[in-house]
Structure 1
Amino acid sequence: MTDPLEKARQIADDVLFPAALAVDATGVIPSGHLDLLAEAGFYGMAAEEVAPAGQAAAARVVETLAGGCLATTFVWMQHHGAVRAVAGSGRPDLIEEWLDPLCRGERRSGVALGALRPGPPSVRATRVGGGYRLDGASPWVTGWGMIDVLHTAARDESDTAIWALVDAVPGPTLGVRPLELVAANASATVEVTFDGHHVPAERVTATLPYAEWGARDAAGLRMNGSFALGVAERAIRLLDPGPYALTAELDACRAALDAATPESLPVARAAASELAMRAATTLTVAAGARSVLRDHHAQRLVREATFLLVFGSRPPIKSALLKLVSHQRATPA
């Protein structure tokens, strides 16, 4: 990719956005959307050699694509955790078998993070001959039916996080329950249940003491803010003329996210989510009664902004967002 951002803009404006209402209405992402992202090289974006410009440049790509179609971008985005894990595994066998196919989008991945939430793990890993046995359930698994493998987290008896590549194929030991989302429902988000599911040792990408997971998680939450910026930017572009104040806020939110430390990131993430909702509701008011019709982008963007108020959240982000919203609420006369 010689100019990833320009390519992302072309795909978002020429392909994703024109189809976004149909994707929202039917609950189905055309396979050509994801194939196009693979052909453009975007499935390998997380690999260092593909995205040498770093996180800020990758974040702009995510933002741009999300402004085209949030559901498509949401499914594609889940893939990158597996790319990073395989590339950083230090295991030549795993890298040789998986890295190139993942980067080319020939193998596509989702992610199952449920076991990493605070409290008792929702998915347990028990060491058995030749690998691990998985038991439990992981909610919010995205892209079912569009992915080949699931980068799955579990925790063992010593509270070590075990990451492994699990084939995304239902069977006697792996069950799936579809979830209905208020927005981006075409992402095919499900709950995955493991019942004595065997994972070979050669599929394990990493192990990490769970006590160390919080710091790593906090450092990686910036990219989720790009979803909100993408929705905000699309709403602002649909306003005619676009209000300068909202455009300036969008630039400021992006700069704050790019510069954020793990300590300042919750406030920056909250500001991005709040801006997405405010931009979408501004578009709704400006468009008038027609904005509540299902064939108008305003209602879709409001629902997507609602979804992004809670997606990828953590307690500090929720706290910052509640504080921000309560401070901006009008005081009765």
Structure 2
Amino acid sequence: MSLLKETQKDSSIKNIDNNILAITESYLKEFVAPVASEINQSSEALNEALQGLIKRSLLSIKVPKAWGGLEADTETFYHFQQLISQYSGALAFLQVQHQGAVASIVYSNNEALKEQYLSKIVEGKLLCGLGFSQLRRKGKPMITATPMNGGYEINGTVPWITGFGFFDAFLLGASLPDGQTIRAMVPFQNSHQDAGGEFLVSEPMKLGAMQSTNTVTGTFKNWFLPSENVVSMAKEGAIHENDKKIVLFPSFLVLGCAKAGLDIVKKVAQTKQLDFINEGFNHLNEELNYCQEKIQTAITINSRSFEDDLKLRVWAINLAQRCANAAVIVSSGAANYYNHAAQRVYKEALVFTVFGQTTDIMKATLEQMVYN
């Protein structure tokens, strides 16, 4: 049997900053890969890995150079995301929350807030998370913002906030009485205000995967939010429109997970010397390269359709699931060990399957599984 095919590099992507990606991959291979299972289970290990990204200025990858950031282009940023998820899903999941919050600040019209946050973010002195997934839910708003003198009174519950103990603040999404929504920065800590308002955080949830990321629920009661903390305001339903625009981009995290599964298959193939494992790897690797090529090309096209983007996202999800399953299969009974790489990647595939899930993605993912 011929040697295993290596993952092909797409030379058609000309804008990528290879220096940033080389620094990232070198760090991940040397310091993250050897302890990936521990990072998935231990908040202390995850924090150490996160600090490694900070020391290399990689958490300011999308911050403009005018603010001291790296200001990487779109292609570089998404390949960066893919690299991290290939070596540690927990680290990828945690840092992407921060990157999302930072992007919102960068594009905000609140210049005073930019002054307050961006320089600290670049210096590694401040990290941010996200708390607005509840805006996707239909029916009665889970978080309300009632206008009052100088700001808003916040009430309700944020069901998911990742990064307690890691992040200093998070981007809150809340609904106004007229249906519009605001996003604003809120300190990520239990707090009691002099006027009686409070924000309380639950104990970290017991999750089946990425427990180390400390995902919690946050509850507001008559909590005062100053107007100067508002990052942006949007019309009712804007989050659903935006979800359609960005449906393709999380595919890079998913592709990284697929690559992680194939890395395991490749390693097993080299030790067990079974032709059918080589053949399985080559088949999945060829499909993964083709899927990645299609997605890389798609993000450079401005006139893409939502339907085409959705198909590519679902394809990537299906590939990650199959590659993770392949890793389990070739690892045999050893995959049952809680700290086995195949066990970790299998669970990471679960997380990335439902990451940023909308009804459209759920429907398309299920249909792909049932009918294809």
TM-score (norm 1): 0.92
Letter in 2 for 1:93: A
Show the counterpart of 2:292. Answer: 254
- Return the match for 1:113 from 132, 141, 156: 132
Matched, 1:195 2:221: yes
Corresponding position: 1:39 with 2:55:
yes
* One-letter identity of the residue aligned with 1:282: A
In 2, the alpha carbon distance for the partners of 1:151 and 1:64 equals 25
What is the match of residue 37 of structure 2?
21
Counterpart position of 1:77 = 96
Matched, 1:244 2:289: no
The answer to whether structure 1 residue 176 and structure 2 residue 201 are counterparts is: yes
Alignment of 1:55-70 (within 5 A): 55-70=74-89
Q: CA deviation at 1:27?
A: 5.2
Using the aligned pairs only, state the percent identity. 23
Distance 1:118 1:154 in 2: 12
After superposition, give the CA deviation of every residue in 1:44-66 in whole Å (9 maximum; x if it has no partner): 12224445552222111111111
Aligned to 1:331: none
2:118 matched residue in structure 1:
99
> 1:266, 1:115 → 2: CA distance?
22
CA spacing shift, 1:227–1:148, aligned 2, 3 Å: same
Give me the whole-angstrom Cα distance separating, in 1, the residues matched to 2:135 and 2:185. 16
Alignment correspondent of 2:251 = 225
Letter in 2 for 1:13: K
Structure 2 residue 149 is matched with structure 1 residue 129: yes
Tell me the equivalent position of 1:263: 307
Residues 1:321 and 1:152: Cα distance change in structure 2 (over 3 Å) = same
Q: Structure 1 residues 11, 320: CA separation in 2 closer, same or farther (over 3 Å shift)?
A: same
- Cα distance, 1:168 vs structure 2: 0.6
Q: CA RMSD in A?
A: 1.9
Task: Kindly indicate whether the alpha-carbon contact (under 8 Å) linking 2:110 and 2:230 is maintained by their aligned counterparts in 1.
Answer: no
- Following TM superposition, by how much is the alpha carbon of 1:2 offset from its aligned partner in structure 2, in angstroms? 7.1
Q: Say which is worse superposed, 251-260 or 133-142, in terms of deviation.
A: 251-260
- Partner residue, 2:348: 304
Aligned residues: 328
Separation in 2 of the partners of 1:53 and 1:150? Answer: 23
Unaligned runs of 5+ in 2: 1-16, 193-197, 270-277
| Equivalent residue number for residue 272 of structure 2 | none
**Are the counterparts in 2 of residues 284 and 299 from structure 1 also a CA contact under 8 Å?**
yes
The structural deviation recorded for 1:37 is 0.8
Structure with greater Cα Rg = 2
Contact map agreement 2:109 2:232 (CA 8 A) in 1? no
Instruction: Give the CA deviation at 1:182.
Output: 1.0
Partner secondary structure for residue 313 of structure 1:
coil
Distance change (3 Å), C-alpha of 1:34 and 1:122: same
Deviating above 6 A after TM superposition, structure 1's stretches of 4 or more consecutive aligned residues are none
Give the Cα separation in 1 of the matches to 2:163 and 2:41: 17
Q: Distance in 2 between matches of 1:68 and 1:104?
A: 25
2-side partners of 1:26 and 1:99: how far apart?
A: 29
